[in-house]
């Protein structure tokens, strides 16, 4: 028997191959001088077009918010009518370390369509600008501007049955980080109609100068390594900052106190084989300490990005948990 602790669960061959190809291309496209070779990464970042013709009972379209910075979102609308019921809105921020992927990347297109269908909700998947070409805070501004746009203008096709009072911010990995800060920023803004009913942080990307136990003990786990996350923070954070910058270390030495701020009920999803899990649990504990309503869901056997593989049992559990959380907030 090996004395080294396990850093990955048994994974189907298809998923293992996907992960090794992805990480190979990620590592190949990240240059030592913190620029990125987009040409290389784009070779495997397959894109899906929007489809007015329903695919799996969901139609999709792209809506432009600001053409000058290529800011848009992909809108997913379930087509199965349930008596014209109004549907909650999930404003989704995709992951990829602030650096990779887009709203139209195939894995995210599939994932958002699945959420729309299985949770019977309208999904707005934000195509924010990427680092290192655009550093922090460009991503936060883009995401927030999409909220403002929807608050001011919901008269576009596919949004007829969307309920602005039931708006959920959601994001995976870097997208979970974006969702948190957008919820904080919402305190300085008065929406006319939009109401933040909840926040869904799926394996959110947080960090700090410290090395946590899970970062050390899970060296070699799928997708996440401190070498990769250090690179991503460096390419994303304002020049000259370290990982204790308040956008990365949200309950760290430089963070601002959110006790007095309005913050929506939050559910945090954590995977046992994710090296980032200690930062994510601290995030949950930080919210609780500030008196916020927060829930932690941990799947011991889950890796980073587990939700994206419908074949994995935790992926179905995640959808069910998310649905329950959203229904609870709707009451």
Q: Which residues bind ligand NAG (CB under 6 A)?
A: 31, 33, 35, 63-64, 153, 155-156
Tell me the CB-side half-sphere exposure of residue 153, using CA atoms within 13 A: 8
Cβ of residue 165: shortest distance to ligand NAG, in angstroms? Answer: 20
Cβ of residue 33: shortest distance to ligand NAG, in angstroms? Answer: 4
Nearest in space to 100 (alpha carbons), one of 69, 133, 142, 136: 133
By beta-carbon proximity to ligand NAG, the closer residue of 33 and 80 is: 33
Is 94 catalytic? The answer is no
By beta-carbon proximity to ligand NAG, the closer residue of 10 and 239 is: 239
Helix (H) or strand (E) holding 304: none
Cβ of residue 54: shortest distance to ligand NAG, in angstroms? Answer: 20
By beta-carbon proximity to ligand NAG, the closer residue of 37 and 56 is: 37
The Cα 169–Cα 248 span in angstroms is 18
Tokens standing for residue 19? 């992960």
3-state secondary structure 90-116: EEEECCCCCCCCCCCEHHHHHHHHHHH
By beta-carbon proximity to ligand NAG, the closer residue of 143 and 294 is: 143
The Cα 153–Cα 147 span in angstroms is 10
Q: Kindly name the residue from 94, 274, 278, 315 that is annotated as catalytic.
A: 274
Q: Kindly name the residue from 29, 60, 121, 173 that is annotated as catalytic.
A: 173
Q: Which residue(s) pair with 198 in the sheet?
A: 168
Is 241 catalytic? The answer is no
Cβ of residue 31: shortest distance to ligand NAG, in angstroms? Answer: 5
173: which DSSP letter? T
Is 83 catalytic? The answer is no
The Cα 308–Cα 202 span in angstroms is 11
Q: Kindly name the residue from 180, 181, 245, 304 that is annotated as catalytic.
A: 304
By beta-carbon proximity to ligand NAG, the closer residue of 32 and 260 is: 32
For 154, residues 6+ apart whose C-beta sits below 8 A from its C-beta are 162, 164, 193
Cβ of residue 283: shortest distance to ligand NAG, in angstroms? Answer: 33
- By annotation, the residues acting in catalysis are 173, 274, 304
């Amino acid at each position: 028997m090996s004395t080294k602790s396990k850093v990955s669960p048994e994974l189907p061959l298809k998923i293992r191959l996907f992960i090794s190809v992805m990480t190979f291309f990620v590592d190949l496209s990240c240059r030592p001088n913190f620029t990125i070779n987009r040409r290389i990464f784009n070779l495997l970042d397959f894109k899906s077009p929007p489809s007015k013709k329903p695919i799996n009972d969901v139609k999709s379209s792209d809506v432009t918010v600001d053409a000058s910075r290529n800011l848009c979102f992909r809108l997913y609308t379930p087509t199965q009518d349930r008596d014209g019921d109004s549907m909650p809105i999930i404003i989704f921020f995709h992951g990829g370390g602030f650096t990779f992927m887009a709203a139209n990347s195939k894995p995210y297109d599939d994932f958002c369509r699945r959420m729309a269908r299985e949770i019977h909700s309208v999904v707005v998947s934000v195509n924010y600008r990427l680092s290192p070409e655009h550093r922090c805070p460009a991503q936060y501004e883009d995401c927030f501007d999409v909220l403002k746009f929807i608050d001011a203008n919901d008269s576009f096709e596919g949004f007829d049955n969307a309920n602005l009072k039931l708006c959920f911010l959601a994001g995976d990995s870097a997208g979970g980080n974006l969702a948190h800060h957008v919820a904080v920023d919402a305190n300085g803004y008065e929406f006319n109609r939009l109401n933040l009913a909840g926040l869904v942080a799926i394996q959110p990307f947080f960090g700090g100068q410290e090395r946590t136990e899970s970062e050390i003990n899970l060296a070699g786990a799928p997708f996440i390594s401190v070498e990769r996350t250090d690179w991503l923070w460096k390419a994303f954070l304002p020049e000259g900052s370290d990982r204790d910058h308040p956008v990365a270390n949200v309950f760290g030495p430089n963070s601002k106190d959110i006790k007095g701020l309005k913050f929506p009920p939050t559910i945090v999803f954590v995977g046992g084989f994710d090296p980032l899990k200690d930062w994510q649990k601290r995030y949950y504990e930080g919210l609780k300490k500030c008196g916020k309503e927060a829930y932690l869901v941990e799947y011991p056997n889950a890796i980073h990005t587990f939700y994206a593989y419908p074949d994995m049992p935790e992926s179905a559990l995640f959808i069910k948990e998310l649905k329950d959380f959203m229904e609870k907030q709707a009451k």
